A and B are shown apart, each in its own frame.
Chain A
Amino acid sequence: MKYYAEIINENGNIAVDDTILVKDYLSSAGSKILDGYKPLFSAEAVERLENKGYSISGKTNVGEFALDLVGEFSYYNDIKDGDTLKGAASELVKQGKVKAALGVDMNGATRRAAALSDVSFLKPTYGTVSRYGVISCAASGEQLGVYANSADDIAEIMSVIAGNDKKDGTSLPEISYTYNTNEDVNGKKVCIVKELFDKADENTKAKITAFADALKAQNVLVEEISIDIFEVANTAWQILMTAETCNNVSRYDGVKYGHRSENYKNIDELYVNSRTEGFNFLTKAVILYGSEMLSKSRYADCYDKALKVRRVVSDVMNTLFEKYDAILTPVCSKCEYTSYDIKDAFTKVFEESVFTAVPNLIGIPALSTNSVQLMSKAFCESTLLSLAKAVERKGE
């Protein structure tokens, strides 16, 4: 597979995915519609890393606007029928080519990619890492996060990139955050959500059980609970995500930059043909779905209701976090994906997102590690990293 859409420095130690801007280097979010686009500025996270002496290796391939499972539908990818699907950034990290990679978690693709490559990815609390310089799709839930092989490496990179940025109106006021991996896990409480556990295949269930056992060995209390909110939360997030994406990609019209069709006689044809040629099938499906969610006839029943569901889910989860330090769930239903037809992508992604949607919907952190997922209440990334570290230690 092709890991990089654009190589910047072969000796660089941090890879960034193609939805994150690096000044003067091609940045296209895996889409033909942004083919040839070179940004005039770098993402805030990239700047902060460079200022601390890290070096960016290049732009890793992502699925068009990160809407797919793990990055299979990039315009710049060369995946063939029957290939096993892997994420580009997660594989580079797995192979030790880079110390860490930045990815944008919008609909779980980064967390799934980490699970399939057996590395870790932290999607931090919404508002802690600046989204300035991220090719935005679902502004209300996307968040820049970190892939690495260890909890310590994630904590190190997060400590550099997190903190207030005046260029992002959703950035929280805290100037900086510290992340550590040495919280005492003894006596921490973790729950496994039955409804999500049951959706996973046997291999995945085995991973969850193994992770739970490793936690128990460190005196973490692990319980199974039943809570029926993930399906509705996923539906709500898919409504918000598709609507916001439809709106955010509407600026790609062939007028200003990126792909412009050669076939047009007037402005309407310029729009229609550029967008028809520039977006892949999945993005088009998302645009149509999202556009419908915002239409006059659907807004009250779909979009507005999804906003209300977001508040309810937030309340339910916060109540749960009064009792538990973290929730343990699958990241995806299985441990391996093979390539499939893009016309099935919308449904497949929708189904798999049931595991990943809640953190996007309500802004809480989620850590994909050991092919399982841990979620906590907002700002408790260190708890998640410490739990992961405790399991790492056991494996040593």
Chain B
Amino acid sequence: MRLLLILLAFVVSGCAAQPDTTLRGDPLDVMFLQMMIPHHQQGVEMVALAKDRAQDDELRMLAAAIESTQASEAGTMRGWLTSWGEPLTAPPDSHTGHGGMRRSDPEEVGRLSALRGEEFDRRLLNVMIAHQDDAVQMARWEAGSGAHREVKDLADRIERSRTAQIGMMKKFLDRA
């Protein structure tokens, strides 16, 4: 039964149907959302650490704003998948053939948690630049080849806001 469920989720998510073609349209929308929800969640977990650990006030403010905006976006994304009757998460590795799950190392939260002050600031900035750079990659693909207007619009906002965040974070690093 479990295998059947996995297969069902897999087929519905559109991967198996066309393994030989570049993913686009409805199946890309689904994959994008299924990949971005856990990615957002990981980002939220990392920036949430800034509240008690960051030294730089501007970094703390940016981290808090990233935390609340990404939590809100994740809610919107879950709502779309639910309304389409699609699973919120894809079977592990089912998207590897199309670009994989770009997820930061879960152990990073542990490594960050152990740091304080300037050391924490530098590590969080570098990790979040990498994390948001991954988000830009996924968003660019969806914005260019997705199907639903509202999903493509969100992807476009993700691409622009993460690019701007990376710019801010690089400035923070330069002065750290």
Partners in one complex: no
> What is the interface of chain B, defined by CB distance below 8 A to chain A?
none
